[in-house]
Amino acid sequence: MASVTSLTDLVSEQLASALSATRPEASADPLLRRSDRADFQANGILALAKKAKANPRDLAAEVVSRITTGDVIKDVEVSGPGFLNITIADRAVVENLAARYADDTGRLGVPLAEKPGVTVIDYAQPNVAKEMHVGHLRSAVIGDALRGMLDFTGETTIGRHHIGDWGTQFGMLIQYLLEHPGELAPPSEVDGEQAMSNLNRVYKASRAVFDSDEAFKERARKRVVALQSGDKETLELWQQFVDESKVYFYSVFDKLDMEIRDEEIVGESAYNDGMPETARLLEEMGVAERSEGALVVFFDDIRGKDDQPVPLIVQKADGGFGYAASDLTAIRDRVFDLRATTLLYVVDVRQSLHFKMVFETARRAGWLNDDVTAHNMAYGTVLGADGKPFKTRAGETVRLEDLLDEAVQRAAEVVREKAKDLTEEEIQERAEQVGIGAVKYADLSTSPSRDYKFDLDQMVSLNGDTSVYLQYAYARIQSILRKAGDVRPAAHPELELHEAERALGLHLDAFGDTVFEAAAEYAPHKLTAYLYQLASLYTSFYDKCPVIKPQPPRDVAENRLFLCDLTARTLTKGMALLGIRTPERL
Ligand code: ARG
């Protein structure tokens, strides 16, 4: 049996049965938290006492008398008016960890969710023919981490990269390309950088003609109509823009060390065919109404200036469809075809109002309901070190690749300084893992809804809550394991544990519970906080409990190496869920 029940769950179960045996008519959920004074502190007696109209202290004593101490719970005592302090037996800690260590599925004994659902996650959605910016970075990084955590819980995840590949600007671009053939090289002949620079050139040139030449503007407008009506030649040229852009997207995602699957790149254009049907359904159901020729949806609580209601526009008066129609159609596709139970969007907070209206519309239509829900994991803005929205010194938006390159460069400096026995090639390889990890970790370790400061100096710092700190902790453990020679990691449940070993051990046990919580709350920062604390607890364990030098008795050394190894496995697993690598040597 590979899966292991966490000590928290074991204690919770015992406590729950003691609570309900004490007052069967008024049961309460025990809440367990780790505390400085005991392994766990239980709260829940107060709620029970309130329900049962009993004295909390007396009730707590009664609950204590119903808990059998033994294999798992070594000691339980009343502390304060309604709290219980619980101590776990050393043996139970080590046995539990040994079972995790023995799990060869790579899951550290963490069970899968009993009733997993299907989450369609909309993330990493750049726009065709446009440069990616730091906002797209956040969506990609947060989305990928959420996906990693959800997958680990057993959820089925389906990615959707809702790229902006449709709209009136393509009329201008396509018309220009038609009049200046050969400006875009075939995708197979360019790398990401060349692709983007070609696209930029075409964009600028076509914009210039568009702004200065009325006749061209008219031709571009007609081209939009041709595109929308599916004209073959127009579509072929449009496809060239999409393909060229994909070369660029892939090069950036590759730099980000992130796997993007072609079949999950399903842009706005993919929903074109379904949009008239979406409009028809909404109008028939009375969810949308005609107003000045347009098809719109109103909301009581969404008002603009002068208290005028702001509607969601499903179809414009000229018959055209926009962003809202594509998102509404995407919802139908994700709910009815992909059979999603959850729709998760990782999109900039500035689009929150759009999603609020889209979700409410879908609810009124019955496409979303109690069983199928939608959430926008709205993330905040990336700020510069000065606290203002991130820009270059010249006030321009920062190119994503430049930013990533700089992070890797800084990381190389850090790695080179520390590395004594690495070749230049090894330094480069580590620098990529350290630099990209640093960018991801800095993003993930702040609550997504908050703005965060893009500060490379802080990100690659060896001290503090950074990925480099965790990567070094991991690499140091690997080096200890290498140096241990013929002493191999082995659990010894018969040994008495040092306080620092207990603290580390209990934290190791909480890995699975943490991932489940972080996944359920879409809160990757809870996992980074866990990992950071793991590294800190490991450091104080290592300070206080010698592993190799001075050499402790063999069984103690083996047990400590076992704790080291399990810490390393937990670190590397947690980081992997977040999309961050942990090099074996640094
Ligand atoms: N491509 C859009 C942008 O760059 C983000 C798309 C978000 N997803 C969605 N389903 N609307 O702003």
* DSSP H or E stretch at residue 160: strand 156-160
Ligand 1 pocket, mutate which of 120, 121, 122, 125 (most atoms under 8 A from CB): 125
Q: Measured between alpha carbons, how far is 438 from 581 in angstroms, rounded to an integer?
A: 10
164 lines ligand 1 (CB under 6 A): yes
Q: Cα–Cα distances in Å, from 483 out to 168, 476, 536, 549?
A: 64, 11, 22, 11
582 lines ligand 1 (CB under 6 A): no
In ligand 1, the atom with minimum distance to the C-alpha of 127 is: 1
Q: Measured between alpha carbons, how far is 355 from 556 in angstroms, rounded to an integer?
A: 57
The two tokens of residue 50 are 């309130």
Sign of the dihedral defined by the CA atoms of residues 18, 20, 21, 22, in that order:
positive
Q: Measured between alpha carbons, how far is 134 from 582 in angstroms, rounded to an integer?
A: 24
Which architecture does CATH list for 118-164+269-376? 3-Layer(aba) Sandwich (3.40)
Alpha carbon of 162 to ligand 1 centroid (Å):
6
Mean pLDDT of successive 10-residue stretches along the chain, which has 586 residues: 89 90 82 87 84 86 90 91 91 98 96 97 96 90 98 98 95 96 89 93 95 96 93 96 96 96 97 97 98 96 88 95 97 98 96 97 98 96 86 80 94 90 91 97 93 90 94 96 95 97 97 98 98 97 95 96 98 98 94
Q: Measured between alpha carbons, how far is 459 from 434 in angstroms, rounded to an integer?
A: 10
The closest alpha carbon to 112, from 529, 490, 519, belongs to 519
| Secondary structure in 3-state letters for 8-76 | HHHHHHHHHHHHHHHCHHHCCCCEEECCCCCCEEEECHHHHHHHHCCCHHHHHHHHHHHCCCCCCEEEE
Alpha carbon of 136 to ligand 1 centroid (Å):
9
Alpha helices in 419-553 (DSSP H): 424-444, 456-459, 467-483, 499-509, 511-520, 524-544
Residue 294 DSSP SS3: strand
Number of Cβ within 10 Å of residue 419's Cβ equals 16
571 lines ligand 1 (CB under 6 A): no
265 lines ligand 1 (CB under 6 A): no
138 lines ligand 1 (CB under 6 A): no
Alpha carbon of 559 to ligand 1 centroid (Å):
51
In ligand 1, the atom with minimum distance to the C-alpha of 125 is: 1
φ, ψ at 357 (rounded to 5°):
-70, -40
Tell me whether domains 7-88 and 118-164+269-376 share a fold: no
Question: Contact, 268 vs 323, CB < 8 A?
Answer: yes
Summarised one tens digit per residue, pLDDT across range 305-336 is: 888 889 999 999 999 999 999 999 999 999 99
φ, ψ at 359 (rounded to 5°):
-65, -45
State which CATH number among 1.10.730.10, 3.10.310.10, 3.90.1150.10, 3.40.50.150 fits the domain covering 406-577: 1.10.730.10
The closest alpha carbon to 125, from 356, 327, 353, belongs to 327
In ligand 1, the atom with minimum distance to the C-alpha of 130 is: 4
pLDDT at 264: 98
Query: What is the Cβ-side half-sphere exposure of residue 376, based on CA atoms within 13 angstroms?
Result: 18
Distance from chain centroid for Cα 253: 15
Q: Cα–Cα distances in Å, from 292 out to 171, 318, 337, 493?
A: 26, 11, 34, 76
Angle at 420 between CA 414 and CA 421, to 5 degrees: 120
Q: Mean pLDDT over all residues of the chain?
A: 94
Alpha helices in 256-309 (DSSP H): 275-284
pLDDT at 1: 54
Angle at 98 between CA 470 and CA 109, to 5 degrees: 70
In ligand 1, the atom with minimum distance to the C-alpha of 163 is: 1
Q: What is the pTM of this model?
A: 0.95
125 lines ligand 1 (CB under 6 A): yes
Alpha carbon of 54 to ligand 1 centroid (Å):
55
Q: What is the dihedral of CA 160, 163, 168, 170, to 10 degrees?
A: -130
Residue written as token pair 């890797």: 408
Alpha carbon of 349 to ligand 1 centroid (Å):
11
347 lines ligand 1 (CB under 6 A): yes
376 lines ligand 1 (CB under 6 A): no
Which residue is closest in CA terms to ligand 1's atom 4?
126
Domain ranges of the chain: 7-88, 118-164+269-376, 169-261, 406-577
Summarised one tens digit per residue, pLDDT across range 198-212 is: 999 999 999 999 999
Question: Contact, 524 vs 149, CB < 8 A?
Answer: yes
327 lines ligand 1 (CB under 6 A): yes
Does the domain formed by 7-88 have CATH 3.40.50.300? no
- DSSP for 364-409 reads HTTSS-SSSEEEE--B--EE-TTSSBP--TTSPPPPHHHHHHHHHH
